[in-house]
Amino acid sequence: MRTPGLRVLAPDGELEALRMLTDRRDELAHRRVQTVNRLQRLLSELIPGQRKRDLSALQAKAMLASVRPRDVAGRTRRRMAAEQLADLVAVDVKLKKVTAELKTMVVARGSTLLEVSGIGPAGAARILSDVGDIARFADRNRFASWTGTAPLDASSGEQIRHRLSRAGNRRMNHVLHIAAIVQIRHDTAGRAYYRRKLAAGKTPMEALRCLKRRLSDVIYRQLVADARAARAVENIDTDAGPGGHCGAALTSSAVDLPPHIDTSDQPLPGPADQTLRPTPPARKAPPGNALRPAG
């Protein structure tokens, strides 16, 4: 089944490029985490008790400048920390460049995912690259099952409960998880929804799963709206004649309808109807009433 009003499109080169850049950014983000962990360990050995949870390159540089070890082990440790700091700066530059490129590509595709709180360029690019064509999902429930946000029934007797689903696309589930955490930390509609679920007796994990499912529905609606808008623009572009005449409205996005025939595509008209009366045929005289020759 497919979403009504949408046409399944074949994968294009832009989506493939978006997918490659998204994978590249994930690799850089993973490398950054490893670099920060190594730098954290070296700095904690150089400056005991000064470990920071979220360490930036500027903070690490300031901490490293405050120590001047005198022993050989300390100087070696400081030199290794300086090398890790240089690697961190290089990774941050690459991440910034790739993120800016992803944002440009997402906006160029006409996507409105960046308007959703908690969805950044990397998350929007991951959604677009993994989803591909939203028309392959019949409804929001199918989409939620694919994203792994549809909870599984774990009820027992009179106790109605649901548990986390491990099925679906885990990368999409991670994007929705990050978006949910961001919304909970800030004054958003997602935080209000999360608190309502807590007030209704949900545990924090259950309330978080409810918010992720709600975000899955929001993402689905955004993707469907973007696809229909793009389809409407495509219809306008393809239906316009050489002189710019267009006979299609924005609502002409139904599936499997015959294409609109423009004035330049109409077949030539057939023979024109005759406007003059044809000459009546000569009447034959009945037998025996033939004209006699003049006498």
Q: What is the pLDDT of residue 53?
A: 74
Are both 76 and 136 inside the same structural domain? no
Instruction: Provide the residue range defining the domain that includes 65.
Output: 14-108
Are both 220 and 159 inside the same structural domain? yes
Are both 44 and 141 inside the same structural domain? no
Q: What is the pLDDT of residue 156?
A: 57
This prediction has a pTM of: 0.70
The number of domains in the chain is 2
- Nearest-angstrom CA–CA distance, 236 and 246: 7
Nearest to 178 by CA among 123, 217, 127, 125: 123
- Nearest-angstrom CA–CA distance, 89 and 78: 16
Q: Quick check: 175 pLDDT over 90?
A: yes
Q: What is the pLDDT of residue 143?
A: 94
Render the burial of 120-148: b for 16+ CB within 10 Å, e for the rest: bbbbbbbbbbbbebbbbbeebeebbebbb
Are both 60 and 166 inside the same structural domain? no
Are both 104 and 32 inside the same structural domain? yes
Q: How far is residue 291 from each of residues 206, 280, 281, 282, 283, measured CA to CA in Å? A: 113, 21, 19, 16, 14
Q: What does the pLDDT look like over 116-154, one tens digit per residue?
A: 999 999 999 999 999 988 999 999 999 999 999 987 665
Q: What does the pLDDT look like over 9-64, one tens digit per residue?
A: 444 688 899 999 999 999 999 999 999 999 999 999 999 877 777 889 999 999 99
Are both 158 and 246 inside the same structural domain? yes
Of 65, 83, 108, at which residue does a domain stop? 108
Q: Quick check: 72 pLDDT over 70?
A: yes
Are both 158 and 210 inside the same structural domain? yes
Instruction: Tell the burial category of 288 from Cβ atoms under 10 Å away from its Cβ (0-12, 13-18, 19+).
Output: exposed
